[in-house]
């Protein structure tokens, strides 16, 4: 009894280590996309630089803005709105065009560059699958760049509007016509256009990723020369240009499929989302994009550093 009475309290059970929280399936993809942005600063520096050049060009061009506004005042309201809105549309078009070029060059180097500098050995040692890695690289031109361009375009147009207003007021002109430019509707059409272009151009970006994963050197030549050679062979052998028409359709066909320029309201074209979503070209292109991404994933799994 004395022994039981003198015995101290039982030692507490040893604390069991807490089980690690389950990792979200999208978490590796999220950090892989952030890694691409960290490693490729040109993805956001280049569009910002283009926007800065556009603003500088517009600032220099404001010398003739009062004369253009006086000339536009003699036009009917619809023509006046079109004329005054043209700089806003041109600024956005230039930024989008250069961003497409940035996205194409990024895709060409996305999987080739990590084999060239042998960093693929490090990235393969991490618990990130080849599928996640390739999808993260595909997300850059298909998701990240369109959203980034949309934000840059809005800010650029607002700055253009502010500069135009200041110049008009300093020259004794009314800024009311400038504020009647349908910027909000332009933004809605821009957002729609960026989405449809990303979906429509998905097979092109996927093809560039596939070439980037396969080529041992000069991926640009391997991306461009085979389509050119195939088009030249068809033209010489059969006298037709179906393949060339297909390439042109894939590059610019979305304008005819997703928009209605006959229903144009000033500088804002009509949109045809139903016609776009039911277009065979959209779904066949997405199938091709899926096949190219799957092939790029398999190639990355088996390719060694250059």
pLDDT digits (tens, 9 = 90+) for 159-212: 999 999 999 888 888 888 888 888 999 999 999 999 999 999 999 999 999 999
pLDDT of residue 287: 97
User: Confidence band (pLDDT; 50, 70, 90) for 23?
Assistant: low
Mean pLDDT of 17-37: 73
CB under 8 Å to 258, separation ≥6 — which residues?
192, 193, 196, 200, 271, 272, 273, 275, 276
Q: Is residue 276 part of a domain?
A: yes
Q: Is residue 30 part of a domain?
A: no
Q: Quote the Cα angle for 43-45-48, to 5°.
A: 115
> Considering its fold, how many domains does the chain have in total?
1
User: Domain limits at 175?
Assistant: 40-302
Q: Is residue 19 part of a domain?
A: no
What pairing do the DSSP bridges indicate for beta strands 259-265 and 268-271? antiparallel
The predicted-structure confidence for 249-277, as pLDDT tens digits, reads as follows 998 889 889 998 886 666 788 889 999 99
Q: Is residue 257 part of a domain?
A: yes
Q: Is residue 16 part of a domain?
A: no
Q: Is residue 283 part of a domain?
A: yes
> Which tokens belong to 157?
């147009």
pLDDT at 6 over 70: no
The predicted-structure confidence for 81-97, as pLDDT tens digits, reads as follows 888 888 899 999 999 99
pLDDT of residue 1: 44
Q: How far apart are CA 256 and CA 249, in angstroms?
A: 9
Q: Is residue 35 part of a domain?
A: no
The overall pTM is greater than 0.95: no
Q: Is residue 33 part of a domain?
A: no
């Amino acid at each position: 009894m004395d022994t039981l009475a003198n015995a101290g309290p039982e030692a507490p059970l040893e604390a069991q280590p807490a089980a690690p929280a389950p990792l979200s399936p999208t978490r590796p993809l999220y950090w892989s996309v952030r890694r691409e942005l960290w490693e490729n600063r040109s993805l956001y520096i280049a569009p910002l630089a283009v926007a800065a050049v556009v603003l500088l060009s517009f600032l220099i061009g404001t010398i003739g803005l009062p004369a253009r506004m006086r000339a536009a005042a003699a036009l009917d309201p619809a023509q006046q709105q079109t004329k005054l809105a043209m700089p806003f549309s041109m600024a956005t078009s230039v930024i989008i065009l250069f961003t497409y070029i940035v996205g194409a060059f990024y895709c060409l180097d996305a999987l080739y560059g990590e084999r060239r500098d042998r960093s693929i050995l490090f990235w393969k040692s991490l618990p990130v699958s080849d599928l996640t890695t390739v999808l993260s690289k595909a997300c850059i031109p298909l998701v990240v760049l369109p959203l980034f361009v949309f934000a840059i375009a809005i800010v650029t147009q607002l700055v253009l509007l502010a500069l135009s207003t200041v110049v008009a007021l300093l020259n004794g002109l009314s800024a009311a016509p400038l504020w009647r430019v349908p910027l909000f509707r332009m933004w809605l059409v821009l957002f729609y256009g960026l989405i449809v272009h990303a979906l429509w151009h998905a097979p092109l970006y996927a093809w560039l990723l596939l070439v980037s994963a396969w080529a041992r050197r000069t991926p640009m030549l391997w991306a461009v020369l085979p389509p050119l050679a195939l088009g030249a062979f068809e033209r010489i052998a059969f006298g037709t240009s179906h393949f060339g028409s297909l390439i042109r359709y894939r590059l610019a066909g979305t304008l005819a499929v997703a928009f209605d320029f006959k229903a144009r309201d000033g500088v804002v074209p009509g949109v045809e989302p139903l016609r776009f979503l039911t277009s065979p070209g959209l779904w066949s292109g997405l199938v091709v994009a899926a096949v190219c991404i799957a092939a790029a994933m398999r190639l990355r799994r088996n390719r060694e550093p250059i």
